[in-house]
Amino acid sequence: MRLVTYDAGSGPRAGALRGKAIVDVWKALGGDPPDGPPSVRALLESGRVEDAAAAVAESEGVDIPASDPRLLPPIPDPDKLIGIGLNYRSHAEEAGLDPPATPTFFAKYRNALAAPGAEVALPAASEKVDYEAEVAFVVGRRARDVGEADASAHIAGFTLLNDLSARDLQMATPQWMPGKVFDGSAPCGPALVTPDEAGPSDAIEIELVRNGETMQQASTADLIHPVPALLAYLSGLMTLEPGDVVFTGTPAGVGSLRRPRVWLEPGDELAVVSPQLGRLETRIV
Ligand code: ZN
């Protein structure tokens, strides 16, 4: 199933893509949750994803054309947005760094999320903004001190994220966060793809295309710390909640390590593309 969040005029709602239509998930399930919003996060918390898949497959007459409602990030309201640094062998190599024995991570906040197709304004505080194509996993069940062998049971699925990074701010201090938190710095989507459709977590391909040119191309087979290891590690440090988004690092080809360097400019058209996860477009303004 490809879960999306869409705004049909009455606020964000959970949907599922079916061809070029969106099926309203909570309507397919027979009604909105008794308390709280009719969101993807509420669906994960309810433990009814499999029910939803069956209901969506059988539902009739509630399709909404996907071209009509505005797609939002699949999880617009996560409790946590966690970014993993230096997690592709190819990227550590181009940066001239040894693969880290322990995952490096940092946070973004909800202000960073941007919808599929959104325009993102370059931040005034930076002159060196870069792209980072990433595969993100979404937590499906609360996870605390979960071992690697049990990790997959806690993962709802995968989506695409562009970890836009202001390199001058990122490198100004030992902590990377100043360069990672600007408004719109986490375009995410288009859909949360459940594992049955996304396939194995170590065989998801991603590509970053800027103005028609491929800048990054890789598979999660190159991850230094694979998805189950990341969930196990993070769940040993804090409780992970349904809907938490963990973006797993970026491969070689970022603009800051190219010669000549490439910085984003107004008018740039970016797309993170994956045969498994879809296409996430962003326009820089
Ligand atoms: Zn990143």
Q: Element (H or E) spanning 51, and its range? A: helix 49-58
How many angstroms does the Cα of residue 274 sit away from the middle of ligand 1? 17
**pLDDT surpasses 80 at 61:** no
Q: Average pLDDT of the chain?
A: 96
How many angstroms does the Cα of residue 6 sit away from the middle of ligand 1? 26
Q: What size, in residues, is the chain?
A: 285
Indicate whether 89 and 67 sit together in one domain.
no
Indicate whether 169 and 197 sit together in one domain.
yes
How many angstroms does the Cα of residue 47 sit away from the middle of ligand 1? 30
How many angstroms does the Cα of residue 180 sit away from the middle of ligand 1? 9
Indicate whether 47 and 159 sit together in one domain.
no
Using the 3D structure, point to which of 72, 91, 119 is the last residue of a domain. Answer: 72
Q: Element (H or E) spanning 27, and its range? A: helix 25-28
How many angstroms does the Cα of residue 133 sit away from the middle of ligand 1? 7
How many angstroms does the Cα of residue 50 sit away from the middle of ligand 1? 31
Task: Give how many domains the chain has, as a whole number.
Answer: 2
Indicate whether 64 and 106 sit together in one domain.
no
Instruction: For 119-170, write each residue's pLDDT tens digit.
Output: 999 999 999 999 999 999 999 999 999 999 999 999 999 999 999 999 999 9
Using the 3D structure, point to which of 19, 45, 72 is the last residue of a domain. Answer: 72
Indicate whether 241 and 101 sit together in one domain.
yes
Residue 214: domain span: 81-284
Q: Are strands 205-210 and 2-7 parallel, antiparallel or unpaired?
A: unpaired
Evaluate the CA torsion angle 92, 199, 131, 14 in order and state its sign: negative
How many angstroms does the Cα of residue 170 sit away from the middle of ligand 1? 11
Both tokens assigned to 69 = 């409602």
Indicate whether 66 and 166 sit together in one domain.
no
Indicate whether 145 and 10 sit together in one domain.
no
How many angstroms does the Cα of residue 43 sit away from the middle of ligand 1? 27
In sequence order, the β-bridge partners of residue 12 are 7
